[in-house]
Amino acid sequence: MKRTAFFVSDGTGITAETLGEALLAQFEGVEFDFVRLPYVDTEERARDAVARIDAIAARDGERPIVFDTVIDQRLRQILASSHGAMFDIFSTFLAPLEQAIGAPSTFSVGRVHDPHSGLYHARIEAVHYAMSNDDGASGSDYSKADVILVGVSRSGKTPSCIYLAMQFGVHAANYPITDDDLQSTRLPPALARYQDRLFGLTIDPSRLAEIREQRRPGSRYASLRQCEDEVRQVEAMLRRHHVPHLNSTRMSVEEIATRILMEKRLRGRKG
């Protein structure tokens, strides 16, 4: 059973897509094709959107599901003339929100991504920070870090740092534990001053070996033996120095980032 879902917006459509995908994920037996239609901000584009929705309705023999966050009343009326099943996200919530808040809404478009806001600049600045403080890059400036992720190579540090920066504006650096570091019972010298900012990522050795095998097939680096040794030693180091940590094996970056914010009591620049 296959259905098509549209995300229609006068902006980027990312809000409609995020909510729509979360809702449709609750329908496990159904496979969905997703189509995002951003910048539907003129009558002509609204009519184009209707034509695309109706073409899919004719092809599938089923009504497409349409999530929309279009603000303009006229455009929403045009969209409502399609054969899709419409889920009008803003209309659904704005009227009861106006009541709860006791103020009218302004129906301003896209203010959430305002590139001139301080929050937006903080996120972009944090992305640049994460890029230049990745993998113990030379000149890493840990003094500006909100959190420093430590773990073996390919335990998920880099995407987690990038997500923390892009989504939350958090300054996240990372440091790959090397064989040299594991020879000592001390923390690596570069980290010793920042012990309270450390957070460890560990991973099941078998999963780590799979990931590394894709990167360097047949290497010692990717061997299960090597992965087991590294993970065991890193976990011992994290425990010895009381560094909070989690096993990332079955977690997404969204989950890892959320757990780190909770553990380190960080609110993010957005909060």
Question: Hey, which residues between 193 and 222 contact a second copy (CB under 8 A)?
Answer: none
Q: Which stretch binds a second copy (CB under 8 A): 51-59, 74-82, 161-169, 231-239?
A: 161-169
Cα(229)–Cα(249) distance, rounded to whole angstroms? 17
User: Which residues in 145-258 belong to E strands, given as ranges?
Assistant: 147-151, 172-176, 198-202, 245-247
User: From the list 42, 44, 51, 113, which residue makes contact with a second copy (rule: CB under 8 A)?
Assistant: 113
Which residues within the stretch 12-31 sit at the binding site for a second copy (CB under 8 A)? 12-15, 18-19, 21-30
**For residues 164 and 257, is the Cβ–Cβ distance under 8 A?**
yes
Q: What is the pattern of x (binds a second copy, CB under 8 A) and - over residues 241-270?
A: ---------xxxxxx-xx---x-------x
Selected from 35, 53, 149, 187, the binder of a second copy by CB under 8 A is 35
Among 55, 159, 184, 206, binds a second copy (CB under 8 A): 159
Smallest gap from residue 187 Cβ to a second copy (A): 25
Which residue number, 135 or 186, has a Cβ lying nearer to a second copy? 135
Contacts of 190 by beta carbon, 8 Å cutoff, 6+ apart: 136, 140, 142, 175
Angstrom distance (rounded) from CA 17 to CA 35: 9
Q: Which residues pair with 6 in a beta bridge?
A: 35, 66
* 9, two tokens: 């917006």
